[in-house]
Structure 1
Amino acid sequence: MEFLRPATWREALAAKAEHPEAVPLAGGTDVMVEINFDHRRPTHLLDLTRIGELYEWEEDGGAIRLGASVPYTRVMEELRGPLPALALAAHTVASPQIRNRGCVGGNLGTASPAGDAHPALLAAGAEVEAESVRGVRRIPIDDFYTGVKRNALAPDELIRAVHVRGADGPQQFAKVGTRNAMVIAVCAFSIALHPATRTVRTGIGSAAPTPVRAKAAEEFLAAVLAEEGSWDGGGALPPSAVREFGGLCAAACNPIDDVRGSAAYRRHAIGVLARRTLGWTWESYLGGSVQPGEGAA
């Protein structure tokens, strides 16, 4: 195994072009586990830890450009306002030590269906900034996941940043696991209300071969809010609409049975998470102060 350690982003792109099979290493919280357990033996490791710009984020016109290596701890501490669902997801990642190292860029590169950042990124409508020596492109998050642990990156591309519009409405994230820390999600769900466009977006994790959105549920809820005049007039959501939303979210899943949970349980749990998070986000939209874990199911 050859260890490549570029000092600049340009050197990293050149190294990736010369060795397309090289595996990027930033936080190392996924890659090193696979290597330690002999599940992976790459010919080249591409260490990106010396490239300072990957650890920076900036805001421009209400949009956040999040460097690929910004650790989850900083997302929690610095971006809870503009990226609330992603900050909530970051809070559920493993332990403090892992959150100090792990990053959204690594989550995207691994593209595991159980990755904690994916549902929040889907709900927020993020874009992935990918670059190679051939140039830069931005990949909509909906097009990024192509299969189990597969993504839309070309062999010579690296993830440089993630672009996310700052929240224009409440967002939530919740996941189910066997305990509250150091656990891979049995399933996870995120929702974002976008009052500026009067749309709803969702994200589902660990309940299909890739992270997915519940598009039928989004369209249904947006139609209900429009028909009821709720975007402007507020008021309680019809219980029947909340139940239907949960059912449509569950129907969007395509889960499997594994050691962490059965397909039937995952589908049921996504329905429950969808109803709960919808309750929390709607209470927030109405001006309440509901915290995760509170609110009607």
Structure 2
Amino acid sequence: MDFLRPSSLTEALAVKAERPDAVPIAGGTDVMVELNFDHRRPGALLDLNRVTELAEWTETDGKIRLGASVPYVRVIAELGEVLPALAMASRTVGSPQIRNRGTVGGNLGAASPAGDTHPVLLVLGAEVEAASVRGTRLIPAEEFYLGVKRNALEPDELITAVHLPAEVGPQQFAKVGTRNAMVIAVCSFALALHLDTREIRAAVGSAAPTPRRATAAEEYLGTELPWSTKASLTDSVKRRFGELVAEAASPIDDVRGSADYRKHALSVLARRTLTWAWNDFQKGERECA
């Protein structure tokens, strides 16, 4: 196995064009596990740790460009105010050691249905920046996930950044695991209330071959939320929203949980996160759950 270590983005893209079989590695929290268990044996590893351009984030005109190699710990510390749901999801990732190394870019590259950040990227309307020697393109998050551990990247492309709107309104993320910490999600859920458009976005994770939007649940809330009065939500609205979120999933039975349990848990997470997000809207401020 070849180990390739470019020192700039230009060099990294040139190497990827020459060696499309090379697997990118930055934090290594997914790739190294696959190598250790001999689930994968690529012809080359493309080490991106010396590519400083990937480890930066910027904000321009209310939009965050998050470099693919910015670790979770920095998302939590530096972007919690403007990307609260992404910070919430980042806090649930693995151990402190994993959060120091793991990245949103790596989560996207792995494209596991259980990836914690995926539902958040969907509800925020994120775009994935993919680059190659041929140029750069933006892929909407909803078009990026093609199947279990399959994404829309071309063989010569690298994920260079993720583009997200800053502070669209109340946001929440929650997940259920087989224990309270350092756990792969049995299921997860993200919710965002876009105050400028009064649009509701909801997405489920670890409950289908890919993370997905719960569009019927979104449409239902669009007709039920009392935006103008900020009145409290009735139990019947929360319950129906939870039911529609569960219907959006197509889970399987596995060692972490049954399909029925995942659907039940999603309905509970949907009700809870809706309550938290609406409370934040009523108060005119945001509080982490």
TM-score, structure 2 length as denominator? 0.98
Q: Among residues 245, 267, 274, which one is paired with 2:270 in the alignment?
A: 274
The aligned counterpart of 1:76 is 76
Tell whether the 8 Å contact from 2:170 to 2:286 is kept in structure 1 after alignment: no
* Counterpart Cα distance in 2 of 1:95 and 1:232: 42
Q: Among residues 239, 249, 255, which one is paired with 2:251 in the alignment?
A: 255
1:135 has 2:131 as partner: no
Question: What is the SS of the residue equivalent to 2:160?
Answer: strand
The aligned counterpart of 1:237 is 233
For 1:261, give the aligned amino acid.
Answer: G
* Counterpart Cα distance in 1 of 2:56 and 2:207: 32
* Counterpart Cα distance in 1 of 2:18 and 2:39: 24
Tell whether the 8 Å contact from 1:173 to 1:188 is kept in structure 2 after alignment: yes
Tell whether the 8 Å contact from 1:128 to 1:138 is kept in structure 2 after alignment: yes
For 1:138, give the aligned amino acid.
Answer: L
The aligned counterpart of 1:196 is 196
Matches within 5 A, 1:119-268: 119-225=119-225, 230-268=226-264
Tell whether the 8 Å contact from 1:195 to 1:231 is kept in structure 2 after alignment: no
The aligned counterpart of 1:286 is 282
The gaps in structure 1 that reach 5 residues or longer are: none
For 1:248, give the aligned amino acid.
Answer: L
Question: What is the SS of the residue equivalent to 1:231?
Answer: coil
After superposition, give the CA deviation of every residue in 1:67-101 in whole Å (9 maximum; x if it has no partner).
Answer: 00000000001111110000000000000010000
After superposition, give the CA deviation of every residue in 1:181-236 in whole Å (9 maximum; x if it has no partner).
Answer: 211000000000001011011121100000111011011101212xxxx2222111
Question: What is the SS of the residue equivalent to 2:159?
Answer: strand
* Counterpart Cα distance in 1 of 2:20 and 2:43: 10
Question: What is the SS of the residue equivalent to 2:241?
Answer: helix
Q: Quick one: percent identity of the two aligned structures?
A: 66
Question: What is the SS of the residue equivalent to 1:172?
Answer: strand
For 1:278, give the aligned amino acid.
Answer: L
For 2:277, give the aligned amino acid.
Answer: T
* Counterpart Cα distance in 2 of 1:139 and 1:236: 37
For 2:153, give the aligned amino acid.
Answer: L
After superposition, give the CA deviation of every residue in 1:55-77 in whole Å (9 maximum; x if it has no partner).
Answer: 10010011000000000000001
Q: How many residue pairs are counted as aligned between the two chains?
A: 289
Deviation at 1:288, TM superposition (A): 6.8
* Counterpart Cα distance in 1 of 2:79 and 2:89: 12
Report the RMSD for the aligned CA atoms in angstroms. Answer: 1.1
* Counterpart Cα distance in 2 of 1:6 and 1:289: 44
Question: What is the SS of the residue equivalent to 1:233?
Answer: coil
For 1:209, give the aligned amino acid.
Answer: P
* Counterpart Cα distance in 2 of 1:286 and 1:274: 18
1:86 has 2:110 as partner: no
The gaps in structure 2 that reach 5 residues or longer are: none
1:52 has 2:52 as partner: yes
Tell whether the 8 Å contact from 1:70 to 1:103 is kept in structure 2 after alignment: yes
For 2:67, give the aligned amino acid.
Answer: G
Q: Deviating runs (4+, > 4 A) in structure 1?
A: 288-293
* Counterpart Cα distance in 1 of 2:146 and 2:249: 16
* Counterpart Cα distance in 1 of 2:248 and 2:118: 16
Change over 3 Å in CA distance of 1:162–1:151 after alignment to 2: same
